[in-house]
């Protein structure tokens, strides 16, 4: 059986241009869905899938992420003094979530280049990479669904979902054969094709399980779409040398890095909350739309 996945990488150096002006001085990964920053959702997903070692690839102006996962001494002290034990436990649990380290991507040269910064961290082990913008609301965590396939096929796995119409050209797209329900063996992939050139309606979602040979493939990858070193292009090179699989996620994916996607995700997550759902639902019903 394949080695289990204990390491997870979170590229978080992007400039968040799709969400300006909110992201002018604050990391987009810290935008809150209801009351929790986006990156905390995906780190919790990785931890629940068995990862205990985390690397966040940061950049300039991203120190709020490090502070969020650190101990906040003054806040904890204050909450204890005021007897707010639930909040204290909640805040403390965030800093205990996993072993987190940080490295900086000094130049925004693309997702492939960001993931390359994890070479030392991976140190010869397979690892997961998660994009915090992609929030997957699923009963069985998206990464767990993927690790099941990784362990059975002993090969890298990416997440996919069907995207109708022209919107497909905003994604990496795969050409693949379904080998069992919801599991695909990839034949080819292309980053952000024109609608007419998309080989299928299967889009790549921001969840990946890589084997260490991805780093050598990234080294051999020339800049692609947008002049950036694309992870899709690196995977495409590697695909010539080894099998690659995709899992159609069972769940709902939200693009929380996009303004409309973020609003939709906020409504969905708020409606699910025990403490807010009923009141929020009543408010939405009262709107004359």
**Where do contacts with ligand G1P occur on this chain (CB under 6 A)?**
111, 131, 134, 171-172, 191, 203-206, 230-232
- Minimum Å gap between C-beta 283 and ligand G1P is 31
User: Which residues touch 1 (CB under 8 Å, ≥6 apart)?
Assistant: 151, 154
- Minimum Å gap between C-beta 249 and ligand G1P is 12
Q: Which is nearer to ligand G1P, 79 or 158 (CB)?
A: 158
CA distance 252 to 236: 26
- Minimum Å gap between C-beta 94 and ligand G1P is 25
CA distance 31 to 10: 15
- Minimum Å gap between C-beta 90 and ligand G1P is 29
Task: Find the residue with minimal CB distance to ligand G1P.
Answer: 172
Task: Report yes or no: 124 and 210 within 8 Å, Cβ to Cβ.
Answer: no
Nearest in space to 138 (alpha carbons), one of 265, 273, 253, 266? 253
Q: Which is nearer to ligand G1P, 79 or 128 (CB)?
A: 128
Q: Which is nearer to ligand G1P, 57 or 111 (CB)?
A: 111
Q: Where are the alpha helices (DSSP H) in 9-71?
A: 38-48, 63-68
Nearest in space to 94 (alpha carbons), one of 121, 72, 63? 72
- Minimum Å gap between C-beta 14 and ligand G1P is 7
Q: Which is nearer to ligand G1P, 105 or 232 (CB)?
A: 232
DSSP bridge pairs for 184: 178, 246
Q: Which is nearer to ligand G1P, 12 or 43 (CB)?
A: 12
- Minimum Å gap between C-beta 241 and ligand G1P is 20
Residues across the chain: 289
Q: Which is nearer to ligand G1P, 45 or 191 (CB)?
A: 191
- Minimum Å gap between C-beta 172 and ligand G1P is 3
Q: Which is nearer to ligand G1P, 151 or 258 (CB)?
A: 258
- Minimum Å gap between C-beta 258 and ligand G1P is 9
Beta-carbon neighbour count of residue 288 at 10 Å? 3
Beta-carbon neighbour count of residue 104 at 10 Å? 13
Q: Which is nearer to ligand G1P, 79 or 203 (CB)?
A: 203
Omega of the bond prior to 21 within 30 degrees of 0, cis?
A: yes
> What are the DSSP E strand ranges found in the chain?
7-11, 32-33, 36-37, 53-58, 99-104, 127-130, 134-137, 157-162, 172-180, 183-191, 202-210, 245-248, 252-255
């Amino acid at each position: 059986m394949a080695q289990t996945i204990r390491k997870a990488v979170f590229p978080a150096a992007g400039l968040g241009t799709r969400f300006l002006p909110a992201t002018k001085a604050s990391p987009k990964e810290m935008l809150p869905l209801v009351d929790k920053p986006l990156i905390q959702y995906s780190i919790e997903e990785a931890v629940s899938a068995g990862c205990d070692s985390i690397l966040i690839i940061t950049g300039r102006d991203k120190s709020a992420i490090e502070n969020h996962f650190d101990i906040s001494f003054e806040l904890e002290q204050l909450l204890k003094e005021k007897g707010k034990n639930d909040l204290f436990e909640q805040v403390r649990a965030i800093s205990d979530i996993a072993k987190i380290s940080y490295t900086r991507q000094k130049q925004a040269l693309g997702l492939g280049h960001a993931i390359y910064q994890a070479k030392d961290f991976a140190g010869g082990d397979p690892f997961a990479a998660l994009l915090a913008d992609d929030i997957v609301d699923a009963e069985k965590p998206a990464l767990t669904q993927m690790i099941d396939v990784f362990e059975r096929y002993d090969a890298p796995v990416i997440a996919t979902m069907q995207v109708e119409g022209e919107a497909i050209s905003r994604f990496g797209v795969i050409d693949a054969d379904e080998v069992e329900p919801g599991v695909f063996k990839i034949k080819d992939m292309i980053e952000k094709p024109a609608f007419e050139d998309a080989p299928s309606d299967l889009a790549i979602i921001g969840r990946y399980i890589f084997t260490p040979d991805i780093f050598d493939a990234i080294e051999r990858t020339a800049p692609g779409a947008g002049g950036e070193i694309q992870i899709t292009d690196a995977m495409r090179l590697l695909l010539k040398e080894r099998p690659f699989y995709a899992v159609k996620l069972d769940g709902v994916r939200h693009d929380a890095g996009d303004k409309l996607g973020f609003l939709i995700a906020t409504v969905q997550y708020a409606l699910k909350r025990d403490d807010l759902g009923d009141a929020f639902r009543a408010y939405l019903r009262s709107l004359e739309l």
